[in-house]
A and B are shown apart, each in its own frame.
Chain A
Amino acid sequence: MLLLALDTATPAVTVALHDGTSVIASSSQVDARRHGELLLPAVDRVLTEAGLKLDAVTGIVVGVGPGPYTGLRVGLMTADTFGLALGVPVHGVCTLDGLAYAADIEGPFVVATDARRKEVYWARYADRRTRLSEPAVDRPAEIDGTVTALPAVGAGALLYPDTFPDARAPENVSAAALASLAAEKLAAGEELEPPRPLYLRRPDAQVPKNYKVVTPK
């Protein structure tokens, strides 16, 4: 097994190679404005570091968000197209699950990432591998107090310490965690999700009002 994992659903552009046993190379850069520019060179760097070519990869793992759409699509489109060109399966993993997997917490906790517009993407976890709620997008103050009082990881928690008093690292997802989680699930014979984006919001689009008169009154 050789998995190439990538995620662009948070400000991090993160790539990792996993050989079924462990992560053999990885790269993470934080630059929310340059996902499109940074991803391919990062893939190239990680492969070079491992001394491998892309066609050795047997599966692609991609973070499906939720995350800011423009960046999120860079990872998904790249993963889909790799899958097409190489003829290998493309697996989706919820980005929040990747963050949860990297958390160093024993009991229940919450993962929250920055959804911009003063909102967070979040989900509740029983432990590092077990998500208890569907990913959601809300203003921090609108999330139930019993949830926000839990230990919390992710930039969305760190950004709103008033709401998440027990906010901790990691801030952004790492493809290494994503790859390890996916490898673990695949080894256990579990099906992963399809690589479909979790937008959670409808597109911003105003239906124009009725035709506006231009003749001056």
Chain B
Amino acid sequence: MADEPLVLGIETSCDETGVGIVRGTTLLADAIASSVDEHARFGGVVPEVASRAHLEAMVPTIDRALKEAGVTARDLDGIAVTAGPGLAGALLVGVSAAKAYAYALGKPLYGVNHLASHICVDQLEHGALPEPTMALLVSGGHSSLLLSTDITSDVRPMGATIDDAAGEAFDKIARVLNLGFPGGPVIDRYAKEGDPKAIAFPRGLTGPRDPAYDFSFSGLKTSVARWIEAKRAAGEDVPVRDVAASFQEAVVDVLTRKAVRACKDQGVDHLMIGGGVAANSRLRVLAQERCEAAGIRLRVPRPKLCTDNGAMVAALGAEMVARNRAASDWDLSADSSLPVTDPHVPGRGHAHTHDHVHEVAKENLYS
């Protein structure tokens, strides 16, 4: 519909420079430049490498998104940008670009939350987000269970990882198996030919007294590494496919079990899964099975919308415009520890504020 807000979104919280354009809940463009190859030899994302790549990629990526969407910058109703959480220096590049773009075009600016954007992106795939929605966000940077009753104003943390993110565990096990970085896709591939029941790896934080919705993947990671080392020490071949399948099963078993339990406990009949690990084929299958058994509707966007991208930021920005949320001020800052409870950063003179707990963030921002 032509009267729905046309919003451009910029995402630079990690190693992807993403620029997306949406009209309401319709995806028009999703342009991405990734520096993942530059990080591969380091086995993880190097913040300074990511920041340098964002600066170089930004203008061409904005150009590409506008062409892809077939709109001109003048037509936009607003510019949205990830204000946090994420890598401080990387976020700042995107925030600087978004502010300059919005100011030069005379458009309102919306600094939005990266996690809320991961949830909101599903509107581009499956239409308006049911309220409430339970969201399981899993990637190299996050593992959270969130309950959203209004994606522009009310996102509640239910649980999160107490140590490693789920995606990090995939990267680490891939490294132990000498499969390279990033680990998610390659583990998924090997796991397809392996037996998920071959090795009984531990399920973290699933005891009766453990927190119901929190995750832990550090113990699993150590246990898998030790199992592999024992094989190597005994001079035996490591059954890579079975290890991959059994490890992956342990991760997705816990993720889906806890997500479904949270839905049941809270009386929520929709679960969305987002983040890079949502691309995992076994996670999708098991989540579908368990949701069906529990009478829960599962919504998982296509893989390209699950990983970090600009379209998700645009999707949340469009929702901010549609619901008349206050725009951000020109002194909007990048906040590497922006709380998940702040779906966006409205300008002053508006009731909603949060404690600025980012002393640490400032240090790494300008060190």
What is the size category of the interface that chain A forms with chain B? 35 or more
Complex interface: chain B residues within 8 A of A85 (CB): 73, 100-101, 104-105
C-alpha gap A34/B52 in the complex (Å)? 19
Judged by a CB distance under 8 angstroms, whether A54 is at the interface is yes
Q: Does B58 contact A (CB under 8 A)?
A: yes
Interface residues of A in 182-205 (CB under 8 A from B): 197, 199, 203-205
Whether B333 pairs with A73 at a CB distance below 8 angstroms is no
Chain A residue contacts of B178, Cβ below 8 A: 211
B55 touches A214 (CB 8 A): no
A interface: dominant SS: helix
List chain B residues, Cβ under 8 A from A197. 52, 55
Stretch at the interface among A35-43, A91-99, A121-129, A170-178: A35-43
Chain B residues positioned under 8 Å from A206 (CB to CB)? 42
Instruction: State the total of A-B contacts with C-beta under 8 angstroms.
Output: 121
**How many Å lie between the Cα of A70 and that of B367 in the bound state?**
8
Whether A81 lies near B52 (C-beta < 8 A) is no
A73 lies within 8 A of B92 (CB): yes
- A36→B334 contact, CB < 8 A: yes
Is there contact, CB below 8 Å, between B52 and A199? yes
B48: which of A44, A76, A204 is its contact (CB, 8 Å)?
A: A204
> CB distance B59 to A81 under 8 Å?
yes
Consensus secondary structure, chain B interface: helix
Q: Are A213 and B92 in contact, CB atoms less than 8 angstroms apart?
A: no
* CB < 8 Å neighbour of B104 from A54, A203, A211, A215: A54
Flag if A203 contacts B49 (CB, 8 Å). Answer: yes
Report yes or no: B366 in contact with A33, Cβ–Cβ below 8 A.
Answer: yes
Report if A40-B48 is in contact (Cβ < 8 Å); known contacts: A74-B92, A215-B230. no
Interface string of B133-175 (1 = CB under 8 A from A): 0000000000000000000000000000000000000000001
* List of B residues within 8 angstroms of A207 by Cβ: 41-43
Partner of A39, one of B96, B104, B229: B96
Residues of A participating in the B interface, judged by any CB pair closer than 8 Å: 32-34, 36-41, 43-44, 54-55, 68-71, 73-74, 76-86, 116, 197, 199, 203-208, 211, 213-215
Show 9 A/B contacts (Cβ-Cβ < 8 Å), sorted by A: A40-B99, A54-B104, A70-B88, A73-B89, A80-B58, A80-B100, A207-B43, A208-B42, A214-B229
Residues of chain B touching chain A, judged by Cβ–Cβ distance below 8 Å, are 41-44, 46, 48-49, 51-52, 55, 58-59, 62-63, 73, 88-89, 92-93, 95-97, 99-101, 103-105, 175-176, 178, 222, 225-226, 229-230, 233, 330-334, 362, 365-367
